Structure 1
Amino acid sequence: MTTVTDPAVAVVQRLYDAYNKQDLDGVMACWHPDGTEFLPLVGEMAPDRLCEHLKGFYAAFPDARTEVVSIFSDGEGHVCAQVQLSGTFTGGKFDGLIANGAHWSARMAEVFTVTGGLILRMDAYMDSMDLARQLNLLPPTGSPAERFMRGAFNLKTRLGRLFH
């Protein structure tokens, strides 16, 4: 086991440990009361909204896991982590979608600002279209369905230009 001496890295690692245990109290204990998390497709969330989001996420993806691939700190409260997030959509509805049993895995970059031993801000970056394809929300790349969607988009754009 590696000993972490940077307090900013230590709180981020505690956060990931709590995520993997689906320990909402542990996750929330890592956050500053005025903290903000930014997630693609969700937007900015204060800790109370983040807690509700995670409840739904854990219910929908009961086997969700986060693996830290790499983690870096500037020694002044800024931490960057590359993580591999994965799970299977076997639980309840999530963001209005009914579970379909799809397994997914997404590499994410997460940038943290830590102050007083608590996370003040986290910005997450990922390829949301790839995740949507893995969940079967979007058709596979190059498939007839994708070509149809692109054609419908182009038709809508041309019609919009014509009538604008």
Structure 2
Amino acid sequence: MNHHVFEGDITTLPVDAIVNAANESLLGGGGVDGAIHRAAGPGLLAACRALPEARPGVRCPTGEARITGGFALPARFVIHTVGPVWHGGQRGEPALLEACYRESLRLAREHGVASIAFPAISAGVYGYPADAAAAIAVRMIRDAPWRPGNVVFCTFSAAMTRVYASALG
């Protein structure tokens, strides 16, 4: 398996799928989510709006994942997953973050994805400690019964790159 860290803009990567660290509405937001929506163009927002709501205003509950086309992105697909907001680790955050990776990989397999890029899910504005988030990400990929042949952990800063590089060993 080829897996590595790339520091830069996830929206530019020539992979089959990029993972969006989304919010539950899937209608865009800040950080990675906003960048993906801007780069993909209006088709992504329309595709997200077309997804059924699990409950009012929620198209993807925390720990789940949904898939759309990539539209103007180099990636064929966007896999949207909603990571947990960090509350000290006592509200099931580790299990929810693990579920994000498990569900993203399930959708990747179902759609024939051979290469995928993950952002640092929950490690930005959601406040998950970066080292703990990276450890979960790497473990979930390494231990997965199936994964694409090429997995990229896409980071947004030199500090986050060091965290993921350390987690990869």
Establish whether TM, by shorter chain, passes 0.5: no
Larger radius of gyration: 1
Q: Which structure dedicates a bigger proportion of its chain to strand?
A: 1
TM normalised by structure 2 equals: 0.27
TM normalised by structure 1 equals: 0.27
